[in-house]
Structures are given as structure tokens and as C-alpha cells.
A and B are shown apart, each in its own frame.
Chain A
Amino acid sequence: MAKSINISSLGKIFSTAEGTTIALEQINLTVEAGEFVTLVGASGCGKSTLLRIVAGLEKKTSGQVHIDTVPIDGPGVDRAVVFQHYSLYPWLTVMQNIKFSRRLEAQRSEITSADVEVASGRADALLAVMGLKHVAGAYPNQLSGGMQQRVAIARALMPRPQILLMDEPFGALDAQTRDVMHDLIRYLRAIENTTIVFVTHDVEEAIYLGNRVVVLAPRPGRIDSIHPVPLPGERIQDMKLAAEFIAMKRTILERIRDTSGIKTDYDMLRKLTQNAARIS
């Protein structure tokens, strides 16, 4: 079922006309089968690039990435990806979007009518779990952002991927919708038994969802620290207010602030306030 991801001395260099940028350097990370790992870091730390390399959408410059023991070679059905947005097909209904992977198989006529039965059973089940039953016939642009992401997740889960890769999937959603999605994705992981790698810039999200939080540092993109989450397997929203949760959030936020060099310049703000007072 679930598979492990083994990344060793991975490097990625982007070459453009202006020069070369080291996006990732010496990344060593093992994600166990069935584990939920979240990647956080300041923008430009290469967390999305790392995810895209595992997905096979981006070529690595050096190092190895293995799924169990098999090296990756481009994208594959074993690794599903949920993007932040614009990945749904607006010309297909919700149901047709979810069944898209099945349609690809049907085109190649690898499947029997029994498979089709099973498939539509699974699509129905996913619709029910994601709370999408009443909008099965709607087009994506008729749905809210949160509903669209539910469709994207259901579509990704349809072919029973061993690994689910999520690239800031809730980045564009409002806080309340995001909380609901968090509990939904934890629940799905429990029933689907997939390995999940989840990229986000929201530290609270990273801790609440992950078994381990990996902090990446920018310039060059590298792993700064790895933090096992001291919460029980089953999570509830109240845990976000627990002392150990907040302590961990503080530690991770400090790591990100220290490595990114992005922080509030209080001195400058004070001077600006004084200047403004003088003018008025």
C-alpha cells in the first residue's frame, strides 16, 4: 500500500540567462511508508521544488530519489499531486474530474466492465467523504475555493496512490475552511493509508497535520531541522492551544526567522512613527 520516499544528497540548480541559482543542496530525507511529513520554510527555500522533484515534474540536478527501492523517472500514478489551484478541468463536471484518471485507463481499454463498476463505487464513496455529493454534476467554477480543493483531493485519491504530494493546497482558503480541510485530510490519511508530503508556509498547519515537520532554509535550499510532533495520532482543533503545540510553534518560527533573514525592523518603524508625528 503506502510506500516510502528515500531522498539522498539531492541537489537542484536552476540555470537562467542571468546565472545559476542553487535551489536545493544536499537534501537527505526519508519519509516512512504511511508517514505524514510537512515541509515548511520561508519563500525561496525550495520546498515546492523538492515536492515537484519527488512528483517527477521537475528534474533533479544531482543525488537520488527512490520510491521504496525504485528510482523515480518522471511523474507516475503511484504519486498523486494536489496543487494550490487551477489544476481542475473547468470543462468537466465534478464527477468527471474525479473520474479523469479512470477515463485515461478506459481509453487504453485495459479495464473490464467490473472495473468500471468498482471505479464508480469508489468515485461515489470519495464524493460522499468529501461532502461533494450534491455538487457532483456542477462545474468547478460554480464552487467555492474550498469545495474546488475537495474535488482536487478526491481526484488525486481516485487511483489509490501510494504517495500523496500536496503543494500548499489550502494556501488560498480562509482560516475556517482550512481548519475543516485539516481534519478532513487527517481522516483521509487514516482510512486511505497513504504516505503524505505536505508543503506549506503556515507553521500551525504544518504541526497540526504532520508526524514530523521538516524546516527548510533558503539560499541555498537545505534542510535546517526536523521536528517530530509530540501529539497523539488523532488530532482535534483544541490541541492547537496546548502548551507543547505552542512551544513547538515558537521553536519552528524562530528557526524560519533566523534562517530566512526576513524579520520586522522595529528600529525603522519607530523612526518612521517619529517622523510622521513631526510632520503632522
Chain B
Amino acid sequence: MKQLIKIMMWRPRRSGQLPFLGSSIWVIRGSLGVRQYWGFAIIGFLFPIALWWIASAIGLVDKIFLPSPADVVARIAKWFSQDNLLHDIWISTYRVSAGWLLSAVIALPLGLFIGAYRPIQALLEPLMDFIRYMPAVAFIPLVMIWVGIDESSKIAIIFIGTFFQMVLMMAEDVRRVPMQQIEAAQTMGATRGEIISLVVFQSAKPALLDTLRVTMGWAWTYLVVAELVAANSGLGYAILKAQRFLQTDKIFAGILLIGAIGLAMDQGFRFLHRRSFPWLYSR
């Protein structure tokens, strides 16, 4: 017991004694170099993959339930060469992006007005909160009746899944603009329109781009739901079809591909953020 407490209470006497553990990167909210960051990120990926690989290699779980990483890679290769993987990726990316873009185009001005004017907030925010809790899946029958079964219906499902969250988050971004920035503009003689376009929007831009990044992730999570609607292509559709034939390797492949595309898009947004808002990164 004493030994255990000793181990739990252990801490490095001097920094730099041990690699990693004693170094300054473990300071609360400390700093981490770019290379170290990516080193840790890669470890974070390799660790679960290694576990997965070991579990499947020693036959811990039946192949039907857990295909090996090699099976999944082989499946992706076969999908690419025989089943038109690129088309599936393209059509799914198109559906997600279109639904997300449509909601962004409407949510941005709406969020600005909800965040800027209290009456508009009172008018719309409770309503949005109400709709937000309705499950997007439940709208499928309605969407099929109203919009039909072509591309627009899939886009509509993704729109329903993302729009209401997006508006509320954007309104919050706008509300976070410091009042002093707005008042400074008022004392410099800015009109209401000028304050919204030259101060509120400019000030909220970085947060708004972050909201766009986060909601893009949510839009992807609605892809499978959207492709439940009379689809005959796409990653979500492929996953659903694979389930029918018990092709777990293809389910894995589809899920991992969606994750990879999402990660790439997320990094793209982060890059754009650094490029667009240099003042946030220059110290």
C-alpha cells in the first residue's frame, strides 16, 4: 500500500530527467512544438490500430464481427478498382457539402440578426431550440413526400440535421463580440449597418469559421441517414448495403473513409483559419 502511494505521488525532481514525463510539455496548458504535436497525434492513431490488428491476428473475435486491418485495406482497394469508390466519395461529399452550404448561407445572416437584435432573438431562438430537438431521421418520410427521392431530398435531410444547430451557434458567436468594440464604433459615429458589417461581423468571423468547421462534421454524421432515402450510390449507402450482405470489412472501410474525409476537411478549415486571421496567431 505504501509502495502504491509512493508511486502515485511520484513526480520528477528535476525537469528534463526523463524524456516526456519530466519535460515542460506536461505543464498545465503548457506549450507543444509542431513536431511533438504530430508525434503524439500519430501515436494516438497507431495505438488503436495496433490493438485492432492484434485482436484480429490472434483470432480474438470472429472475422465476421471484426475484420483485420489488412482485410479492410484490401476491401478499399477492391472498392476502388471494381465498385467505383471515387464516385461514391464524390457523390457523398457533394451531398454533405451542398446541405451544409445551403444551411450556412441561410444561417449566417440569420445568426447575425439573432445575435445583434434582441427582438429577433426572442422571435426565432425558442423556435429554433424547439425544432433542433426533433430527430432529423423522423423527417425522412416528410422529405420524401415534399421533396421527392432525387438528390435534393438527401441534401434536405443534411440541411435539417445541421441548420438549426448552426443558427444557434452562430447567434452565440455574434453575441460574444465584446460590447466595448460595439460602443467604440457608436462613439465614432457608426450607423447600425456599419456596426454590423464593419465591427460585429468582422469580430465574430474567426468564431463563425470555427462553427462552420464543427457543423461540417455534424453534416457528415447525417450522411448515412440521408442516404437511407432511395439512394443507389454514396459511402453511406455502401455501408447500409454492406450490412445486408454481412460485409463487415466494407462497413469498416466506409466508416474509416468518412472519418478520413472529415479529418482532411477539418484540417483544411484549420488551415483556412490560420490564413484568414493572422492576428490570432501572431504574438
Which A residues are closer than 8 A to B by beta carbons? 55-57, 74-77, 79-81, 83, 85-91, 100-101, 103-104, 107, 139-142, 155-156, 159
CB distance B189 to A83 under 8 Å? no
23 A-B pairs within 8 Å (CB atoms) are namely A56-B187, A75-B186, A75-B189, A77-B189, A80-B187, A83-B180, A87-B181, A87-B183, A89-B181, A89-B203, A90-B203, A90-B279, A91-B203, A91-B205, A101-B189, A104-B198, A107-B194, A107-B198, A139-B282, A140-B279, A141-B282, A142-B283, A155-B184
CB contacts (< 8 Å) of B189 on chain A: these are 75-77, 101, 104, 159
Complex Cα distance, B242 from A208, in Å, reads: 81
CB contacts (< 8 Å) of A100 on chain B: these are 185, 188
Known: A81-B183, A86-B181, A107-B194. A91 touches B188 (CB 8 A): no
CB contacts (< 8 Å) of A139 on chain B: these are 278-279, 282
For residue B196, CB closer than 8 A to chain A, the reply is no
B48 to chain A, nearest CB (A): 38
Known contacts A75-B186, A91-B205, A104-B194; 15 further A-B pairs (Cβ under 8 A): A55-B187, A56-B186, A74-B186, A76-B189, A77-B189, A79-B187, A83-B180, A85-B180, A89-B202, A91-B202, A101-B188, A104-B198, A107-B194, A141-B280, A141-B283
Secondary structure at chain B's binding surface: helix, strand, loop or mixed? helix
Task: Pick the most buried of B180, B185, B277: most chain A CB atoms within 10 A of its CB.
Answer: B180
For residue B136, CB closer than 8 A to chain A, the reply is no
For residue B199, CB closer than 8 A to chain A, the reply is yes
CB contacts (< 8 Å) of B190 on chain A: these are 104
B272 to chain A, nearest CB (A): 15
CB contacts (< 8 Å) of A56 on chain B: these are 186-187
Residue from the list A55, A91, A103, A159 in contact with B279, Cβ < 8 A: A91
For residue B141, CB closer than 8 A to chain A, the reply is no
CB distance A57 to B279 under 8 Å? no
Task: Pick the most buried of B183, B188, B189: most chain A CB atoms within 10 A of its CB.
Answer: B188
Complex Cα distance, B193 from A104, in Å, reads: 11
CB contacts (< 8 Å) of B194 on chain A: these are 104, 107
For residue B178, CB closer than 8 A to chain A, the reply is yes
Known: A77-B188, A100-B188. A142 touches B183 (CB 8 A): no
Task: Pick the most buried of A55, A86, A91: most chain B CB atoms within 10 A of its CB.
Answer: A91
Give the residue name and chain of the A residue nearest to B186 (CB): A75
A112 to chain B, nearest CB (A): 19
CB contacts (< 8 Å) of A89 on chain B: these are 181, 199, 202-203
Q: Mark B250-281, 1 if CB is under 8 A from A, else 0.
A: 00000000000000000000000000011110
CB distance A87 to B188 under 8 Å? no
A182 to chain B, nearest CB (A): 22
CB within 8 Å of A: which B162-209 residues: 178, 180-181, 183-190, 194, 198-199, 202-203, 205
Residue from the list B178, B183, B203 in contact with A57, Cβ < 8 A: B183
Task: Pick the most buried of A74, A75, A156: most chain B CB atoms within 10 A of its CB.
Answer: A75
Give the residue name and chain of the A residue nearest to B202 (CB): A91
CB contacts (< 8 Å) of B198 on chain A: these are 103-104, 107
Complex Cα distance, B283 from A83, in Å, reads: 23
B236 to chain A, nearest CB (A): 39
Complex Cα distance, B195 from A107, in Å, reads: 12
CB contacts (< 8 Å) of B278 on chain A: these are 139
Residue from the list A75, A107, A142 in contact with B187, Cβ < 8 A: A75
